[in-house]
Amino acid sequence: MSRRTLPVATSTQVRRQVKVLLARHRRPLVGMLVLNGFAALAGLAGPRLLGEMVESLRAGTTRGHLDRLAVLLALALVAQTVLTWFARRAGFVVAETVFADLREGFLTRVLSLPLSTVERAGTGDLVTRSTGDVEALARTVRFAVPEVLVATVTVALTVVAAFVTGPLVALPLLAGAPLIAIGTRWYLRRAPAGYLREREAYAQYNGTLAETVDGARTVEALGLAGRRTARIEGDLARAHDAERYTLRLRTIWFPTMELAYAVPVTLSLVWGTWLVAGGHATLGQVTAVTLYAVQVVDPVDRLISWLDEVQVGATALSRILGVELVPDDRVASDERPADEHVVVEDVRFAYREGRDVLRGIDLDLRPGERLAVVGPSGAGKSTLGRLLAGVHPPRTGRVTVGGVPLVDLPLDDLRRHVVLVTQEHHVFVGSVAENLLLARPAATEDALRAALSAVDALAWVLALPDGLATEVGSGGRPLSPAQAQQLALARIVLADPHTLVLDEATSLLDPRSARHLEHSLAAVLHGRTVVAIAHRLHTAHDADRVAVVEDGLVSELGSHDELVASGGAYAALWDSWSSDPSASPVH
């Protein structure tokens, strides 16, 4: 079992992709920022008008003037309200569009990953990326990025407004910046790793719990409740450690920020007094700037408190984009197969360097024959099956159809020649019909029924509450493993390739049904080349030829009768299996 995880994009690659993404949605993004800028501008009228009020109160004024200022304040408020509405709405709409773009791009890439990568990396890592990382990114794209952009615009405009009010008066506004910069830098260096650790701990807790509920039968049968509880609480203890770490970071960061926010207000009172005393500023200017210093705290706080979320999002994005970095394992050539003849020539293959699983296999599949592959576990049967289906390119030698190496065929083309069905049964979320249609999207209902009937499944499918339209898969009607396997077989009937590799494709059916199914399948498969990797000897018995694979080599090849007559390993196994009392026991 080699667990090669999928690549992760570097920060440079992430930045490049983000730029591409932003460029693709430039117009709505710019529109949203402009709207937010106007909303922020309207919000800046308050301190300015209050300064005006204070100044005129000191200088002596009339009721009418004050009322006019109040009306202006009210108008600014109305403008801010309306602009905020449009700005926020635009923000959400852009975010939804960008996020849809990202997740669809991700799934598109996942669906075209090289077959060998999918087989090797397993699905765990990919599932995590398609759920946890996509969700983390949703939060970043929907909230963090818009908040950060909007807050940046607001902060910038507030500072500009303060300087426009009085350049000298506004100077203290910058006094808090160094402390904010240092504190935030310190925090951001540590926080994302901490939050990632939190997320991982909770994800692990999720996984452990899901596994416990899914495997409830095993937990009960083996009396493992106590152990599962301990495991769950161990995960929670790790989550708690992670929480405490980030809490420690915030314990230092939060007060630093609060004090930094207070510095400009504190200074502007003293500085303002000095300026006003020297005749360099008015009370109104000082009032406005002091209130700007109070008012700017909220957007600055929002800006920096969303920054760590942006970083978490960047990490998620690097894992999502990482999928794009998987190199293709084949380059399709223009060659087209001359016929349907599949040949294996001196094939060697290793999953790990220096450990050949196949050590020089030659096999000539006669078009239309049924070849059974038997042999002990670990001998390389399934690996041979994968090479026969063009999943992996061989290390040396070649597997060809009609003279063209399988791995030189475009994928769509490849599947029209060879299809692999394994014992892995997965019922997709959707209706029974949808589960079948993926093999041939244009198939008619009659074709679906015919395929189901070929695998003995029509009766039970029609007995389902909604027949072919019954929702199955996770969250739908549960199917037994045997039923799932029948659906998988019905798919190949629809896919209609000339060569089929069945890797223990009937192993989950009970023996009698398996036998019966294989008989019905035989009719459908007639005329096709079938390679059946089997652990039930009756499959071998029914085949035209049997290949015994041992230790990465074909040790025996011939018809059932020939092999039984030759008295080799297959013969011994057969005797024991068929319980012929005259046979000698095998060890």
Partner 1 sequence: MRHLPLADPGSPDLRSPARYLLWTGRQQWRTLLVGVAFGVTWMVAQALVPAAIGRGLQAGVAEKDLEAAARWSLVVFGLAAVQAVFGVLRHRVAVDNWLQASFRAMQLLGRHSAEVGVAIRRRLPTGEVVSAATNDALHIGSAFDVTARFAGAVVSYVVVAVILLRSSVLLGLVVLLGAPAMVLLLGPLLRPLQRRQHAQREVAGKLTALGADTVAGLRVLRGIGGEPAFLERYRNRSAELQRAGVRVASPQATLDSAQVLLPGVFLVLVTWLSARLALEGAIDVGDVVAFYGYAFFLVIPIRTAVEAADKVTRSLVGARRIVAVLTTEPEIRDTAEPAAEPPTGSTLSDARSGLTVASGTLTALVSADPDESAAVAHRLGRLSDDAGVTLGGTRLMDLPIAAVRRRVLVSEADPRLFTGVLRDELDPWADAAHARGDADLVSALHVAAAEDVLDSLPDGLDEEVDEAGRGFSGGQRQRMALARVLVADPEVLVLVEPTSAVDAHTELLVAARLRAARHDDGRRTTVITTASPLLLDRCDDVAYLVGGRVVARGRHRDLLAQNPGYRQTVTRGEDR
Q: Site residues for partner 1, window 425-454 (CB under 8 A)?
A: 425-430, 434, 437-439, 441
Kindly tell me which residue out of 30, 164, 182, 222 binds partner 1, with binding defined by CB under 8 A. Answer: 222
- Give the distance from CA 344 to its chain's centroid: 36
Site for partner 1 in 302-341 (CB under 8 A): none
Site for partner 1 in 237-276 (CB under 8 A): 237, 240, 243-244, 247, 250-251, 254-255, 258-259, 261-263, 265-267, 269-270, 272-274, 276
In DSSP terms, which residues pair with 503 in a beta bridge?
533
The answer to whether 382 contacts partner 1 (rule: CB under 8 A) is yes
Quick check: 379 and 103 in contact, CB under 8 A?
no
- Tell me the closest approach of the beta carbon of residue 12 to partner 1, in angstroms: 27
User: Which span sits near partner 1 by CB under 8 A: 72-80, 154-162, 336-344, 460-468?
Assistant: 72-80
The answer to whether 22 contacts partner 1 (rule: CB under 8 A) is no
Smaller CB separation from partner 1, 142 or 341: 142
Quick check: 125 and 6 in contact, CB under 8 A?
yes
- Give the distance from CA 360 to its chain's centroid: 38
The answer to whether 502 contacts partner 1 (rule: CB under 8 A) is no
Smaller CB separation from partner 1, 341 or 538: 538
Which long-range contacts does 16-20 make (Cβ < 8 Å, 24+ apart)? Answer: 17/317, 17/321, 18/317
Query: 402 — alpha (psi -120 to 50), left (phi > 0) or beta?
Result: left
- Tell me the closest approach of the beta carbon of residue 477 to partner 1, in angstroms: 12
The answer to whether 422 contacts partner 1 (rule: CB under 8 A) is yes
Kindly tell me which residue out of 23, 111, 459, 523 binds partner 1, with binding defined by CB under 8 A. Answer: 111
Kindly tell me which residue out of 463, 581, 582, 584 binds partner 1, with binding defined by CB under 8 A. Answer: 581
Kindly tell me which residue out of 22, 160, 216, 325 binds partner 1, with binding defined by CB under 8 A. Answer: 216
Smaller CB separation from partner 1, 436 or 461: 436
The answer to whether 73 contacts partner 1 (rule: CB under 8 A) is yes
Quick check: 528 and 371 in contact, CB under 8 A?
no
- Identity at 220, one-letter amino acid code: E
Segments in 455-536 forming alpha helices (H): 458-462, 481-495, 511-525
φ/ψ of residue 224, rounded to 5: -100, 10
Angstrom distance (rounded) from CA 220 to CA 207: 18
Kindly tell me which residue out of 315, 431, 507, 529 binds partner 1, with binding defined by CB under 8 A. Answer: 507
Segments in 112-224 forming alpha helices (H): 115-121, 124-128, 134-139, 145-165, 177-214, 216-221
Kindly tell me which residue out of 22, 30, 57, 181 binds partner 1, with binding defined by CB under 8 A. Answer: 57
> Which are the contacts of 581, defined by CB distance < 8 A and separation ≥ 6?
none
Q: How many CB atoms lie within 10 A of CB 142?
A: 16
- Tell me the closest approach of the beta carbon of residue 541 to partner 1, in angstroms: 8
171-208 b/e with 16+ CB inside 10 Å = b?
bbbebbeeebeebbeebbebbbebbbbbbebbebbeeb
Taking the CA of residue 247 as centre, how many other CA atoms within 13 Å lie in the half-sphere pointing to its CB? 6
User: Which span sits near partner 1 by CB under 8 A: 104-112, 153-161, 333-341, 446-454?
Assistant: 104-112
The answer to whether 19 contacts partner 1 (rule: CB under 8 A) is no
- Tell me the closest approach of the beta carbon of residue 249 to partner 1, in angstroms: 11
Angstrom distance (rounded) from CA 403 to CA 417: 13
The answer to whether 225 contacts partner 1 (rule: CB under 8 A) is yes
Kindly tell me which residue out of 378, 403, 410, 567 binds partner 1, with binding defined by CB under 8 A. Answer: 378
Quick check: 216 and 210 in contact, CB under 8 A?
no
Binding mask 539-568 for partner 1 (x = CB under 8 A): ------------------------------
- Identity at 113, one-letter amino acid code: L
The answer to whether 359 contacts partner 1 (rule: CB under 8 A) is no
Taking the CA of residue 32 as centre, how many other CA atoms within 13 Å lie in the half-sphere pointing to its CB? 22
Burial (CB count within 10 angstroms: exposed 0-12, middle 13-18, buried 19+), residue 489? buried
Smaller CB separation from partner 1, 56 or 345: 56
Site for partner 1 in 127-166 (CB under 8 A): 127, 130-131, 134-135, 138, 142
- Tell me the closest approach of the beta carbon of residue 237 to partner 1, in angstroms: 6
- The string of DSSP codes covering 110-137 is HHTS-HHHHHHH-SHHHHHIIIIIHHHH
Binding mask 392-421 for partner 1 (x = CB under 8 A): -------------------xx--x---xxx
User: Which span sits near partner 1 by CB under 8 A: 14-22, 217-225, 335-343, 399-407?
Assistant: 217-225
Q: Which two tokens stand for residue 270?
A: 């003293």
- Tell me the closest approach of the beta carbon of residue 69 to partner 1, in angstroms: 7
- Binding residues for partner 1, rule CB under 8 A, total 178
The answer to whether 286 contacts partner 1 (rule: CB under 8 A) is yes
Q: Which two tokens stand for residue 559?
A: 């018809």
Smaller CB separation from partner 1, 167 or 378: 378
Q: Which two tokens stand for residue 171?
A: 């100077």
- Give the distance from CA 444 to its chain's centroid: 33
Kindly tell me which residue out of 29, 44, 115, 300 binds partner 1, with binding defined by CB under 8 A. Answer: 115
- Tell me the closest approach of the beta carbon of residue 360 to partner 1, in angstroms: 20
CA nearest to 128, candidates 189, 73, 224, 207: 207
The answer to whether 469 contacts partner 1 (rule: CB under 8 A) is no
Distances (CA, A) of 29 to 94, 95, 97, 145: 7, 9, 11, 11
Quick check: 361 and 553 in contact, CB under 8 A?
yes
The answer to whether 510 contacts partner 1 (rule: CB under 8 A) is yes
The answer to whether 85 contacts partner 1 (rule: CB under 8 A) is yes
Q: Which H or E run contains 374? A: strand 370-374
Site for partner 1 in 475-494 (CB under 8 A): 475, 481, 488, 491-492
Site for partner 1 in 174-203 (CB under 8 A): 202
The answer to whether 46 contacts partner 1 (rule: CB under 8 A) is yes
The answer to whether 122 contacts partner 1 (rule: CB under 8 A) is yes
- Tell me the closest approach of the beta carbon of residue 393 to partner 1, in angstroms: 15
Smaller CB separation from partner 1, 301 or 340: 301
Kindly tell me which residue out of 346, 424, 445, 466 binds partner 1, with binding defined by CB under 8 A. Answer: 424
Kindly tell me which residue out of 8, 18, 21, 110 binds partner 1, with binding defined by CB under 8 A. Answer: 110
